[in-house]
Amino acid sequence: MSEADQLKALRVRIDSLDEKILELISDRARCAQEVARVKMLNLQPGETPVFYRPEREAWVLKHIMELNKGPLDNEEMARLFREIMSSCLALEQPLKVAYLGPEGTFTQAAALKHFGASVQSKPMAAIDEVFREVVAGAVNFGVVPVENSTEGAVSHTLDSFLEHDIVICGEVELRIHHHLLIGENTKSANISRIYSHAQSLAQCRKWLDAHYPNVERVAVASNAEAAKRVKSEWNSAAIAGDVAAQLYGLSKLQEKIEDRPDNSTRFLMIGNQEVPPTGDDKTSIIVSMSNRPGALHELLVPFHANGIDLTRIETRPSRSGKWTYVFFIDFVGHHQDPLVKAVLEQLSQEAVALKVLGSYPKAVL
């Protein structure tokens, strides 16, 4: 058979498969509409329907990954299903999600990775504004960065948890690749300024020291903001990611300039919705202890005694007195798990204050 004939036959097969996929996706979407109808029917007076179910979404994606036999890899397959579910949810309720903007930030990429592309996303100028937007009920959820594997905690986010009553409903991790970007009027040899967010400048510190030791580094509100400036400014460069490069039409002078190849950022989804257990969850709490010898030890003992895996502990000034601190702790398990419940009860007896920020499914994608 000639190449043209072989391609023709294969494309006939692809067309017929696409028709089946189309029918199946439409069936699934109709099912989601039915789910919405059932959720509305069974409401108690005064109750609002809960359309978005992170625990169910986590299960669906994991199930797909378990069943997947290739040739598409698990992440790729889950990404496709992520988008199908996002479209189905939008039929039930179009979710509004605020994120740390402007458009083109890694936080926007994290929001899309977690919720899919069918949400209405709203860029905010600062982390605290994302929190306020959620608290005010102007959006269903917010997305904020919380820690970077190279640079550590994002303190604005931790401090915002001290000021707002909010629930963590999910997490997502993003591999962060930074590029050195320039506009069409800039030549590499003429670069006199490099703009980026302070965290991104820090994540590329060694590379900058080696390649542009005498060039001024200017910290701006976000790397998308840096890309935006560079578009209209001669002889300057920005450090930002792919989305910002595309959005502002910049070219890459050098790709992947982050000092650590595994550079990743973890983001949190914040809202007002408690998430039921999935069996593979994490919990975040804030604890403050009295300032006495052994307090930190007492804080950690119940976790060790019950075999609970701590995934992170961070200290921040408490804002209620000089040299007093609060601990942000993440651990494996859900606050409704009997073992976790026992630990939290024990802790609340030792602690000056303890607040559960939320239990949520471990990141799937």
Ligand X SMILES: O=C(O)C(=O)C[C@]1(C(=O)O)C=C[C@@H](O)C=C1
Q: Which residues bind ligand X (CB under 6 A)?
A: 32, 35, 51-53, 56-57, 60, 85, 88-89, 92
The minimum distance between CB 317 and ligand X, in angstroms, equals 37
Query: Where do we find the tokens 């400014």?
Result: 233
Provide the sign of the torsion angle of the four alpha carbons 96, 101, 104, 107, taken in this order: negative
The minimum distance between CB 281 and ligand X, in angstroms, equals 16
The minimum distance between CB 32 and ligand X, in angstroms, equals 5
Judged by beta carbon, residue 57 or residue 258, the one nearer ligand X is 57
80-111: b or e for each residue (b if 16 or more CB lie within 10 Å)? ebbebbbebbbebeebbbbbbbbebbbbbbbb
The minimum distance between CB 278 and ligand X, in angstroms, equals 12
Angle at 171 between CA 338 and CA 125, to 5 degrees: 135
Distance CA 215, CA 191 (A): 7
Query: Where do we find the tokens 């996303």?
Result: 121
The minimum distance between CB 274 and ligand X, in angstroms, equals 15
Judged by beta carbon, residue 94 or residue 321, the one nearer ligand X is 94
Judged by beta carbon, residue 57 or residue 225, the one nearer ligand X is 57
Q: What crossing angle do the helices spanning 74-92 and 3-41 adopt, rounded to 10°?
A: 50
Judged by beta carbon, residue 88 or residue 244, the one nearer ligand X is 88
Contacts of 136 (CB under 8 A, 6+ apart): none
Judged by beta carbon, residue 27 or residue 184, the one nearer ligand X is 27
**% helix, strand, coil for the chain, step of 5:** 45, 25, 30
The minimum distance between CB 252 and ligand X, in angstroms, equals 36
Query: Where do we find the tokens 């994608």?
Result: 365
Judged by beta carbon, residue 51 or residue 131, the one nearer ligand X is 51
Query: Where do we find the tokens 């509004």?
Result: 96
Q: Which residue is nearest to ligand X (CB)?
A: 88
